[in-house]
A and B are shown apart, each in its own frame.
Chain A
Amino acid sequence: MFARKKSPWVMHLPCGGCNGCDIEVVAALTPRYDVERFGVLQKGTPRHADVLLVTGVVTAQVKERLKRTYEMTPNPKFVVAFGSCAIDGDIFRDGYGYAGPLDEVLPVDTYIPGCPPRPEALIDGLNKLLQKVR
């Protein structure tokens, strides 16, 4: 659907990461990259969001909360795994708090690899996600 493609409202969900990805996400909102020209707005509440942007490893602490946040989001909703940690745990894979890759907790639509991915990668990933939206 045309309207859904042109106005993805994003909620940024930092889990147990090192904050590197979060800074890159915020950088994508700055004047240099300006994602608002694609209709992307950052929202603070899952009720307003279409896309959940998950960064960092899924820890035992955050797992249930992640599921609850996903259930709070109104349909249709999409999940983007941002950064290597969200995809497979990266260097934290053997840690005691690690609770599985993100796609075992939530249905992930798009993976954006990198440690951390650049803001261009976020824009590209969102673009690929929206190509799939119909």
Chain B
Amino acid sequence: MTSIPETLIGLLVYPGFLFSLVVGGLFYWLYRKIKARFQARIGPPCYQFFIDLMKLFSKESITPYTAGSTMLVLAPILSVTGLLLAEAMLPIGSGSVLEFEGDLIVALYLLALPGIAMMIAGTSSGSPYGSVGSAREASLMVGYELPYALSVLTLGFYVKSLSLSVIVRYQLVNGAFFLRYPMATLAFLLCLLPKVGRRPFDAPEADTEIIGGPLTEYSGALLGLFEVVNGLRWFVIPAFAVNLFFGGGANILEFLLKSLGLVLLLSILDVIHPRYRIDQGFKFFLKWALPLSLVDFVRSLVLS
């Protein structure tokens, strides 16, 4: 059992808020840079994400009179909290801040919070674009959460434990899970795209169709909090995948390199694909990702 100051440092500095914000911000910059290079542009400088954050937090926040102001403020906070707590449970490098039996399930729930917060944000902002964005987020979530959870539970059944650290330690000895369960890995990687809100599954925030989606009415510091969420999820969600399927990392450098690889993969997938319509995206998950994860789920049930 760790002491309270240690836990606080773990949550807020390393490997918590500050560390993941910096790494996530750099990963997000990398994504924008890759996108720019693919389009034969130069792209933004590496400090762009942090500059944007500073600017947004120095701006005025307007609450529209049609909006439910409590939920409008709570939604980004809920989102940041969920990502931070999930991040504290991930074993990054050596060990995690919070460790208990069953943290896999808790992490799954916490990583669903950003999506739910997005829905709350959209519906509470009182803007038609926000409502459309939330509806899209909701229907996409119904599609991707099932294969996502199934492919995670595959590992749980295989190692007969619902603890993240047990799964990571098992992989350090016996090799990474993506060799043993390639189909579940594929399904999981497909579900990462809507989790970080990238093409081809970025219909909820499609800026060419519904302005800003759920974030249309957000401004200033509250929008800045959603930028923080954007930065955090570029680190936390690939980190979750690295821990589960790509063997975690014996040290922090190996871990970061593996996450970097995943970020590159997600960025390239984003750049080379157009956007799916919302029903196509929903169908895609039920048609391809769900059967893939089901096959490996059944395999792990039979094998164990």
Residues of A within 8 A of B (CB): 1-4, 6-7, 31, 34, 36-37, 39, 43-45, 47-48, 50, 72, 74-76
Taking A34-B42, A74-B220 as contacts, is the C-beta distance between A43 and B212 under 8 angstroms?
A: yes
The answer for the CA separation of A6 and B207 in the assembled complex, in Å, is 22
The answer to whether A48 and B41 have CB atoms under 8 Å apart is no
The answer for the CA separation of A4 and B43 in the assembled complex, in Å, is 18
The answer to whether A39 and B52 have CB atoms under 8 Å apart is yes
Known: A45-B211, A75-B59. 8 other contacts (CB 8 A): A2-B54, A6-B47, A31-B40, A37-B41, A45-B129, A72-B62, A74-B59, A75-B60
CB distance from B295 to the nearest CB of A (A): 41
The answer to whether A36 and B36 have CB atoms under 8 Å apart is yes
The answer to whether B219 and A48 have CB atoms under 8 Å apart is yes
Residue ID in chain B nearest A1 by CB atoms: B58
Hey, which chain A residues are within 8 Å of B216, CB to CB? Answer: 45, 47
A-B CB proximity, top 6 nearest: A3-B54, A44-B211, A47-B219, A74-B60, A34-B41, A74-B219
Taking A36-B43, A74-B60 as contacts, is the C-beta distance between A47 and B217 under 8 angstroms?
A: yes
CB distance from B254 to the nearest CB of A (A): 32
The answer for the CA separation of A44 and B32 in the assembled complex, in Å, is 19
Out of B39, B44, B59, name the residue touching A39 (CB < 8 Å): B44
The answer to whether A44 and B58 have CB atoms under 8 Å apart is no
Hey, which chain A residues are within 8 Å of B39, CB to CB? Answer: 31
- Of B39, B41, B60, which is in contact with the most chain A CB atoms at under 10 Å from its CB? B41
Chain B contributes a number of interface residues (CB within 8 A of A) equal to 31
The answer for the CA separation of A45 and B214 in the assembled complex, in Å, is 12
The answer to whether B207 and A31 have CB atoms under 8 Å apart is no
Hey, which chain A residues are within 8 Å of B44, CB to CB? Answer: 36-37, 39
The answer to whether B62 and A7 have CB atoms under 8 Å apart is no
Taking A4-B55, A31-B40, A44-B211 as contacts, is the C-beta distance between A39 and B48 under 8 angstroms?
A: yes
The answer for the CA separation of A50 and B60 in the assembled complex, in Å, is 11
A-B contacts, 17 listed (Cβ < 8 Å) = A2-B54, A3-B54, A3-B55, A3-B58, A6-B55, A7-B52, A7-B55, A31-B39, A37-B42, A44-B212, A45-B217, A47-B217, A47-B219, A48-B215, A72-B62, A74-B59, A75-B60
Using a CB-CB cutoff of 8 Å, which residues 34-70 of chain B contact chain A? Answer: 36, 39-45, 47-48, 51-52, 54-55, 58-62
Hey, which chain B residues are within 8 Å of A45, CB to CB? Answer: 129, 211-212, 216-217
Hey, which chain A residues are within 8 Å of B223, CB to CB? Answer: 47-48
The answer for the CA separation of A47 and B69 in the assembled complex, in Å, is 16
The answer for the CA separation of A44 and B55 in the assembled complex, in Å, is 18
B235 within 8 A of A: no
Residue ID in chain B nearest A43 by CB atoms: B212
The answer to whether B218 and A47 have CB atoms under 8 Å apart is yes
